[in-house]
Amino acid sequence: MILRQFLDTYPVVAASYLVGCGGRGVAAVIDPLEGIERYLEAADSLGMRIRYVIDTHVHADHLSSGRALAEAAAADYVLWAGVASAPGTRGVDDGESLEIGNVRLAIWHTPGHTPEHLSLLVTDGKRGPEPWSVFTGHTLMVGDMGRTELAGSGEEGARQLYRSARRLAQLPDHVEVLPGAFSGSVCGRGLSGKPWSTIGFERRFNRAFRLTEEAEFVSYMLRDTPPPPAGAAETRARNLGATLQEA
């Protein structure tokens, strides 16, 4: 398996990824930001073709370049089936898998930060049958979990996020957590500057993830919510339907 992490601090703080199978020469890009050339160049330098471009959720703090990248790479653009209504979008649902050579991305619906949020559980068939990593977007990050009011009711989002957290907490300790943001992002509070972790470490030390009672979790998630990003609703609407052109 080949994995590359791209870290951005401007105009938003976010992490995106290229993951795939070097032997079969196929890859997926997850949560791409501006500058689609870097993903195309990274894939080309590794002798890989981008087959899927996946947004873990409909972003509210920036315009996704997912559609533009998918078009440039002749790849499928992937979102959760419940919001994949725009032309050229492939919808996936809980329990499905995307195959990229010897690498499998199992789709888990993990709502809470947004209703449509996905996590992607990674298995490398060349290494073994058990999951190695999980791309968690803004559901589970290093040190905290994603805010819950940007796409609906904060309380209902927190209850959904609690159920998603309990599902992720069932993964083995060694599974790597590859989040979509890190310290400085408006989508979480108290995030670490270290942009990856493990399920075991987060289960022990993550402020929200370690809470096992729903009422306590919901109360925590509704406290000290930072101001929303400017134009959040409009940004989500554009990401849902617009075919965005790379600037």
Q: From the CA atom positions of the chain, what is the Rg in Å?
A: 17
Alpha-helical (H) ranges within 17-124 are 36-45, 66-73
pLDDT for res 227 = 87
In this prediction, residue 226 carries a pLDDT of 84
% of the chain with per-residue pLDDT over 90: 86
Q: Could you read off the pLDDT of 158-191 as tens digits, one per residue? A: 999 999 999 999 999 999 999 999 999 998 888 9
List Cβ neighbours of 106 (8 Å cut-off, separation of 6 or more).
95, 96, 97, 120, 121, 122, 123, 131
Smallest Cα–Cα separation from 27: which of 134, 93, 105? 105
pLDDT number for residue 243: 35
Q: Are strands 49-54 and 76-80 parallel, antiparallel or unpaired?
A: parallel
Ranges of residues in the chain whose predicted pLDDT is under 50: 243-247
> Residue 112 to residues 132, 134, 164, 180: CA-CA distances in angstroms?
24, 17, 7, 15
Determine the pLDDT at residue 229: 85
- What is the reported pTM? 0.94
In which order are the strands placed within the sheet that holds 118-124? 97-100, 103-109, 118-124, 133-137, 176-179, 197-198
pLDDT at 240: 86
DSSP conformational letter for 209:
T
pLDDT at 245: 37
What integer pLDDT is reported at residue 85 of this predicted model? 87
